[in-house]
Structures are given as structure tokens and as C-alpha cells.
Amino acid sequence: MKYSVGHTGRVILLRLDEGEDVLESLESLASKEHIESGIFFVIGSLKEGSLVSGAKTDEPPVIPFWQRIRKNHEILGIGNIFQTEGKPKIHLHAAAARGDKVRLGCLREKSKVFLVEEIIIFELLGMEAIREKDQRTGLFLLKIH
Amino acid sequence: MKYSVGHTGRVILLRLDEGEDVLESLESLASKEHIESGIFFVIGSLKEGSLVSGAKTDEPPVIPFWQRIRKNHEILGIGNIFQTEGKPKIHLHAAAARGDKVRLGCLREKSKVFLVEEIIIFELLGMEAIREKDQRTGLFLLKIH
Amino acid sequence: MKYSVGHTGRVILLRLDEGEDVLESLESLASKEHIESGIFFVIGSLKEGSLVSGAKTDEPPVIPFWQRIRKNHEILGIGNIFQTEGKPKIHLHAAAARGDKVRLGCLREKSKVFLVEEIIIFELLGMEAIREKDQRTGLFLLKIH
């Protein structure tokens, strides 16, 4: 267990529209508004996306299960923003449903909003943390000083 | 992408009891406490509810998939509060499970709490946003000034 | 409906590592940092855990459905911290997925982190609430003064 104590800063309400890319839009906004650390919440719909939903074995190397989203899904997600090499990096876990089929995982690569995505970001101040590439797993892990 | 920058206000811890209606209770509390904008988080159980879990096609008109909750389900939800024609309107996405069956969608219409619902609302101040009926889709979409 | 109005305090960013226990770690941190009330958000992975995903009947006694997590799952969770007899008690609802299998429920008993768990806790100040054992159901329910 490692932890860092900080406090809330600005809150940003963000609306993404049809066809926009979720991770790219969040990174671009975080850069523009100089958000170093943050947590955000997503509700909306997605018509394209890729979720990593676990690793095939409990030992490295991490070989992911992929779930591909095609056609519109309702989503609910929780993510965070920390810096990697001076640039904001997004980590977002989302659940997605279409009819009675539900998926859940870590959103990666390209995605496309369906209709609208409503995102609320809480900026966090005073956090002594960055995201750094871990040699053993190849993942960008949170490093708390 | 459109966004508005604000900050946190009050935080309200809300407990709903057996049989209470989730959306109606939240709208009533938001009116009484004059919460113009907010984000909230729900954990608890629901014994009745209706979730929209996607649209049948990616093109309008939006014809929803419905998932009906009967008997008690554990739930987890994220929602927001914005004003429509001067009154608070709730937008809530929730995942619900009973045994190994999981559903996810946008909670609509009537619902009934099972045992208890624990809700924490963060009031947001300074947000220049309302929810307005969109002619093309018939949905109440978030409009950021 | 009962509610209490407060405001945000500190924000704590917590990283749990491989093999750590989620509920135990959160209770231990809350004790050490004197967090009386809070809400937290979890994204990461879990390789062991037990979820209560509903009760078998809508009438007491509450006989739970259990979902057991074995092998690594991606997770997303929302929880809160309130005091029971002067000690912090955690209530956490989480969704967990491995491949195309998704589960959701109330995390109980022992659990084990896979790789890493990223948790962000918002301390809540001014909340007049504790968690107390309810005689009828045997559950620790939130009591708002």
C-alpha cells in the first residue's frame, strides 16, 4: 500500500459528441487545461471501442482478453488522469451494455461516441504520483512517490 | 467537445428506504435543496426498475432496448443533475445484478428501492449547462453554453 | 428518505499491490488517517474475492447469492466509509469481468489484488451518519441522524 494525500481543484463538465474518440479527447482536454491529476466519471453511449477484460493467466506475461464494442452500447465508467513523461495519460474502466449483453474492461485504443458522452472530471491537487512503464508487465503503472 | 469549468459545492449523503422511487426522490431532494447541477453515486439494491440498454440501430429514430428489473438486484450507479426548464432532471446509468445475471443501462420511469439505497451527491457550482430536448432524437441532451 | 449535508475534505490516492486485501487495506488506511466518512472509487484487478449479488427472496431473512472471483478479473467499484462502533466500516459495490463473463455485487470477506488497484478516496466532513447493525435484517445499515 502506498498513498498520497491531496485535495480537489476545478471540476470540468465535458460533453463529447457523436464520433469523437474518448481517450484522445480526454488527453487533449487535460493537456489544454493543464490537469496534472484527476478522476473522472463517464455516462453515455459508445458505438466503437476495445476493452481489456482480464489477463489470460495470473502470471506475466500479461496476455489480455479483448472485448470489441460494435454498434451502440450504454456505458458507465470511472477513470483517472496522471502524467507519463510530462503528458496526461488516461486510465479508464468501463462497463458497456447492449440489450442483455454486458461487458466490462479497461478502454484502450480508438473509440467512437454514440450520440453523447457526459463526463465530469475532478482535478486533484497535491498528488505526488505519475504513471510509469513497468518493465516486468509492460503496463503503465501508477507510481506514488 | 464542449466543456464548462466549475468547482464542488455541498456534498449530500442520502439514504432511500424500501419502496422509495429513485429518480423521483432525487428530483424532489434537488428541488428542495436547490441543487442546480451535481453528480451522484449510488450503491444499494433495487427491486423494481427499467433500464434502457442501447438503441436498436445506430441511426435515429432511437428505439430502445429495455431491461426490466423484477425481484431484488444489487446496484451500482453514476448519475448527474442538471436543470430542464427550471427543474432538476436526473440522468442515471446503473448496473444491476441478481445472481450471475448482470444488466446495465439508463434508469427510466418508476423504480423501487429494496432495503436501502446509499447515494452521495456532489453539488457542482459554476457550471454553465442545462438539459434540453433535442428535436432530432427526442432525448434530453446536455447543452453546455 | 433521510439525508445529511456536508462537504469534501482531503482526497487520498491509494495504490494497492499484488496480493493485498481490499477491505482490510481500506479499513486500515481509514483508521490511520482518521477518515470518519468518505466515498471512494476503485479501478484495477482482483484475483480473489466474494460478491453478494442479491438476496434469494424479497422478504427477510436475507439469504445472499454469492459470486466467487477466482483468477484475475478487471474491476470497477464504488464504495463508502462510515463508522461502526468507533471504527471505519467499508461498503463496496463492484463489477468484475474476465473475458465475456461479468459479475456485480457487494464485496465481502477476504480478497486479493491482481497486479494493482487504484483507489481514490474523497473524505466527507460534516456528515451526521454512522453504520449500525439492523436487528431485522442482520445487515449494517447506514443511520443518518
The residue among B78, B66, B63, B82 whose CA lies nearest residue B133 is B82
In Å, how far is B69's CA from the nearest CA of chain A? 12
If residue A15 lies in a helix (H) or strand (E), which one and from where to where? strand A2-17
- For residues B139 and C53, the model is more confident at C53
C145: pLDDT confidence band, cut at 50, 70 and 90?
Answer: confident
DSSP C100: T
Q: Which residues in chain A have their CB less than 8 angstroms from residue B100's CB?
A: none
Cell of C134: 439492523
Q: Report the alpha-carbon distance of residue A45 to residue A74 in Å, rounded.
A: 4
Q: Report the alpha-carbon distance of residue C81 to residue C92 in Å, rounded.
A: 9
Most C CBs within 10 Å, among A104, A106, A132, to test the C interface: A104
Q: Which residues in chain C have their CB less than 8 angstroms from residue B10's CB?
A: 5-7
DSSP A24: H
Q: DSSP assignment of chain B, as one string?
A: -EEEEEEEEEEEEEEEETT--HHHHHHHHHHHTT--SEEEEEEEEEEEEEEEEEESSSSSS--EEEEEEEEEEEEEEEEEEEEETTEEEEEEEEEEEETTEEEEEEEEEEEEEEEEEEEEEEEEES--EEEEE-TTT--EEEEE-
Place of cell 513497468: A134
Smallest Cβ–Cβ distance between B74 and the set C2, C52, C142 belongs to C52
Mapped onto helix, strand or coil, the DSSP state of residue A34 is coil
In Å, how far is C13's CA from the nearest CA of chain A? 5
C138: pLDDT confidence band, cut at 50, 70 and 90?
Answer: confident
Cβ contact, residue pair C104, B95, below 8 Å: yes
Q: Report the alpha-carbon distance of residue C122 to residue B60 in Å, rounded.
A: 40
Q: Is the pLDDT of residue C60 over 90?
A: no
- Is A87's Cβ below 8 Å from some Cβ in B? no
Q: Write down the pLDDT at residue B60.
A: 82
Q: Is the pLDDT of residue C72 over 90?
A: yes
Most A CBs within 10 Å, among B1, B11, B82, to test the A interface: B1
In Å, how far is B57's CA from the nearest CA of chain A? 8
C137: pLDDT confidence band, cut at 50, 70 and 90?
Answer: confident
Q: Which residues in chain B have their CB less than 8 angstroms from residue A15's CB?
A: 1-3, 142, 144
Q: Report the alpha-carbon distance of residue B55 to residue A71 in Å, rounded.
A: 9
CB contacts < 8 A, A to C, total 117
Q: Which residues in chain A have their CB less than 8 angstroms from residue B105's CB?
A: 74, 97
Q: Report the alpha-carbon distance of residue B102 to residue B110 in Å, rounded.
A: 20
Q: Report the alpha-carbon distance of residue A127 to residue A122 in Å, rounded.
A: 13
